[in-house]
Chain A
Amino acid sequence: QQQVKQSPQSLIVQKGGISIINCAYENTAFDYFPWYQQFPGKGPALLIAIRPDVSEKKEGRFTISFNKSAKQFSLHIMDSQPGDSATYFCAARGGGATNKLIFGTGTLLAVQP
């Protein structure tokens, strides 16, 4: 119940295309869903986040779609660029007093020029 399942494990997209990464969860107590971007040798960087009372959030080329009834959420990267090539992690906050994040297993995105 404390897992966040992420797919695909890896993704290759052409420059200008749309990258889509999906995550699913079981625990309905999760109350905050961030996405992180990680480059090799760097720590994860917060990209965008959403609360479960919102179905979509957009920031620039990045959009989170959230389906509360299906317990699924996804990251869409529009007009993907080679500089977007990185590992992307979805996460979920456990709720309650702890701010613990449960991370997915990551998606390695390669955007080909």
Chain B
Amino acid sequence: EAGVAQSPRYKIIEKRQSVAFWCNPISGHATLYWYQQILGQGPKLLIQFQNNGVVDDSQLPKDRFSAERLKGVDSTLKIQPAKLEDSAVYLCASSLYYEQYFGPGTRLTVT
């Protein structure tokens, strides 16, 4: 079974620029998550989708971050404009029930 796919794997941008990340979950997984993992910390949930509806986006900085999951499969996370403190690994995960399976992540560096 193929795992969670993410792209790009690495991205370097300047502050105030925009960036987008893509995620393809495990086939059949209705729930998709975006987490932010700052160096040396555990992942922090940004947003959770159930099919194409948002379940939890309480920790998403909505003034600069947006996410969508069209057709209930792939998802994109966008940051516009980026700040230095957005430098982190952005992890996508998916689940069928409780168990969440993570992709390899996108390492974002904002200079």
Contact = CB atoms under 8 A, between A and B. Distances in A.
The judgment on whether A and B are partners is: yes
A98 to B, nearest CB: 5
Given A43-B104, A89-B42, A34 B99 contact: yes
Given A43-B4, A105-B42, A106-B42, A100 B99 contact: no
Given A43-B4, A43-B91, A101 B45 contact: yes
Interface in B65-111: 91, 93, 95, 98-105
Chain B contact residues: over half helix, strand or loop, or mixed?
A: strand
A43 B99 contact: no
A91 B31 CA distance: 18
Given A99-B48, A100-B48, A46 B41 contact: no
Contacts of B103: 43
Nearest to B9: A41
Nearest to A32: B98
B55 interface: yes
Contact of B43 (A6, A41, A103): A103
A41 B37 CA distance: 12
Contact of A100 (B42, B45, B91, B102): B45
Given A97-B55, A98-B48, A105 B41 contact: yes
A99 B95 contact: yes
A45 B55 contact: no
Q: Which of A46, A89, A93, A104 has the most CB of B within 10 A?
A: A46
B84 to A, nearest CB: 22
A49 interface: yes
B61 interface: no
A83 interface: no
Interface in A26-48: 32, 34, 36, 41-46
9 contacts: A43-B102, A43-B103, A99-B48, A99-B100, A103-B42, A103-B44, A106-B40, A106-B41, A106-B42
